[in-house]
Amino acid sequence: MNAVKQWPLIVDGALIRKRVDACVTTTSVEAARTAAVQGLRLAQLTYWDVFRQLADQSLVEIELQDAAMEDLSVWAVMPSRRYVPNRVNVFLAALQNQIAELGRNLGKEAR
């Protein structure tokens, strides 16, 4: 299962794109997660997308021995820091708190 035909992987420090044949292709995170929970093969999803399923063990993480997944970032791009609507600041603060909470949870699991 995948949303793209190639998965980005880090092998020996270099980014490569590995072609993946899929029985299901989707651009929906929800559809990919649901299909994976139902056992329709592997899905490449972020921790953000599956932390609940990892916690309840309806999904398990597969650690690659000879490759790593590409790190992803979250960016907030605004045309200016002046006159930012309050709703944008509230959203960004909530997003930052959610990401920090996920980071703390990851730290607890690593112990």
CA separation for the pair 5, 81 (Å, rounded): 38
- Specify whether the CB–CB gap between 16 and 9 falls below 8 A: yes
pTM over 0.85: no
CA separation for the pair 48, 31 (Å, rounded): 15
Longest Cα pair distance anywhere in the chain, in angstroms? 48
Q: Spell out the domain ranges in the chain.
A: 1-71, 73-111
- Binned at pLDDT 50, 70 and 90, residue 5 comes out as confident
Average pLDDT rounded to a whole number, residues 99-103: 82
CA-closest candidate to residue 50, choices 22, 81, 21, 29: 29
